[in-house]
Chain A
Amino acid sequence: MRKYVGIIKSGFKVAIAYRFEFFVTLITAPISLIVFYFLWKSIFEYTGVGILQGFTFTEMVSYYLLNLVVGFFTWSRIERWMEEDIRYGHMIKDLLKPVNYFFQAFYFELGLSALGIVVQAIPFFIIGLVFFDLVMASWINIAFFVVSLLLAHILYFLISYIIGLTAFWFQRIEGLSRAKKPIIHFLSGGLIPLTFMPLMFQDISKFLPFQYIRFIPISFYLGKYELNSMFTLLAIQVIWVLLLYTLAHVMWNNAFKKFAGAGA
């Protein structure tokens, strides 16, 4: 475990080098929230109802606020680094290290995210409590939110890692990488709560991993589910992590046969 702690630390140090960029999001993130605040304020007033698809106006603002907080932790650019490593053959030096490549990548990004939690997520959460009427959830909901958030982080990483592995076949995956973010953002409820989607889509969504990246953790915090449902959803989230990990493992074994060390 010590070697992984070392990798987390190195990720954290890299993040520190970019601390200015992290702090800038403390200015930019509230701007995004202000846009959504005014948008939904006008929609609620214009529609003339108190609840829209299960959300009051205050809950809607809280949803977008938590969406930003979750977003600080559920991100990954690992596929871009993997693309570089594979194309230029740099991966060979990582493979020589006595650490599994997957875990090297995972813990490094965990280190990067750690700074995000300290300088982005926590301050922004406090801003939400003070300025945007974010209600402090019950401890049980917070516990489910935190566990689900950790799993969401792993899920996002796994999806990015699987996309990264496709570089063994395609070499350039900038297109896939670009497509990843908006598609996940939309399907996970990052742009609009999934309850606004047609019922058929909501049913399909239950069989996809995306809603577990944003919508489910946020709904846990907002108390949208009973305790039993929360346990079930958390179990499904774990199953998705295991399924995607297995897929990544199988892909790696197949892809590695193609890797010649001199670049794909």
Chain B
Amino acid sequence: MKRNFKLLWKSWALEISSHMAYKTNFAIKMLAFIIMDMIGPLVALLIYKNTAGIPGWTFEEFILFTGTLTLVFGFGHAAVIMMPARIIDDVRQGHFDKHLLRPFKSLTYFLFSSPDIDGVAEITVGLILVSWAFVKLGLTVFSWNFLIYIFLIIIGFIFQYAVMIMISALAFLFVKSWALFDVFFTLTNFARYPLTVYGGGITFFLTFMFPIAISASYPADALLNGISGFGILKIVLPVFLFLFVSVWFWNMAMKKYSSAGG
């Protein structure tokens, strides 16, 4: 484990130093991400100013929801989103072999060595939004609901990791796997609004088939209204099932890998 964290530390040090070469660009890029992530709450504000809002969620609660989503996506962005990008490129160019020679399990290696500093801006915005909502809603961190909230955020991150493994694995099977990125990012649009917006069919899909609702809907709801043990099990199991299938897919893809390039 110590070795993995050393790898993580070194990868982040490299990521930061590479961005420091162009400081102005880096500052503008961070600002761009902050603006991008603030646009969602701004649209929400416009909706709440002009309408009765989103069913079941007050404006402050919706900001908690959006902040949670930004936080979970931020963790995914910072830690794993570069993973398929690197793998797809390396597989295409036949450079993937070098990763197999390293003294790490391939998935562990990519988990600890795919940092993206852009995600830090998202995490920052997410924390600001969640903190604002916490104050406005009078929530406390000293509660079971908060512990469950943190737990579900971690599960949300695991789901992001599982999806990235799946996309990466498919890079070995399809040359055009970039398109899967687009499909994934489009599907994440469903997560941008609470489940109360959708009908039963989509809610089922977002909970059990492609459990992206774990990214914000369930954690925010658990924090505000609490959740039963069975409720936790019901939303966590599909994520682990998805992770299991993704890892299985990855292992299968590794067996098929011929190192000839795409």
Contact = CB atoms under 8 A, between A and B. Distances in A.
B52 A178 contact: no
B176 interface: yes
Interface residues of A, number: 39
Interface in A181-197: 182-183, 185-186, 191-192, 196-197
A29 B52 CA distance: 27
Given A20-B176, A179-B35, A191-B39, A31 B47 contact: no
Interface stretch (A46-54, A121-129, A140-148): A46-54
Contact of A31 (B28, B33, B187): B187
A24 B182 contact: yes
Q: Which of A21, A39, A175 has the most chain B CB atoms closer than 10 A to its own CB?
A: A175
A43 B198 contact: no
Contacts of A28: 182-183, 186
Interface in A28-49: 28-29, 31-32, 34-35, 38-39, 42-43, 45-48
A173 interface: yes
Interface in B8-27: 22, 24-27
Q: Which of A32, A46, A52, A185 has the most chain B CB atoms closer than 10 A to its own CB?
A: A46
A119 interface: no
Nearest to B42: A186
B197 interface: yes
A192 B25 contact: no
A46 to B, nearest CB: 5
A198 to B, nearest CB: 8
B54 interface: yes
B32 interface: yes
Interface string B163-190: 0000000000000101100110011011
A78 to B, nearest CB: 18
Contact of B22 (A48, A172, A179): A172
Task: Classify chain B's interface size.
Answer: 35 or more
Contact of B43 (A35, A52, A173, A192): A192
B29 A178 contact: yes
24 contacts: A21-B178, A24-B182, A25-B182, A28-B182, A28-B186, A29-B186, A32-B186, A35-B189, A35-B190, A35-B193, A39-B54, A42-B196, A43-B53, A45-B55, A46-B51, A52-B50, A173-B28, A175-B26, A178-B29, A179-B28, A179-B31, A182-B32, A182-B39, A192-B43
B92 interface: no
Interface of B: 22, 24-33, 35-36, 39, 42-43, 46-47, 49-55, 176, 178-179, 182-183, 186-187, 189-190, 192-193, 196-199, 202
Nearest to A22: B179
B119 to A, nearest CB: 13
A38 B187 contact: no
A171 B23 CA distance: 11
| Secondary structure class of chain A's binding surface, majority of residues | helix
A47 to B, nearest CB: 4
Contacts of B26: 175
Given A24-B183, A31-B187, A178-B32, A43 B43 contact: no
Contacts of A31: 186-187, 189-190
Given A52-B51, A175-B25, A39 B42 contact: no
Contacts of A182: 32, 35-36, 39
Given A174-B25, A178-B32, 14 more contacts: A21-B179, A21-B182, A32-B189, A34-B202, A35-B192, A35-B193, A38-B193, A38-B198, A46-B53, A46-B54, A47-B51, A175-B25, A176-B28, A185-B39
Contacts of B30: 175
B99 to A, nearest CB: 26
Contacts of A39: 54, 193, 197
A43 B52 contact: yes
A46 B190 CA distance: 19
Nearest to A45: B55
Contacts of A21: 176, 178-179, 182
A25 B178 CA distance: 12
A17 to B, nearest CB: 11
A27 interface: yes
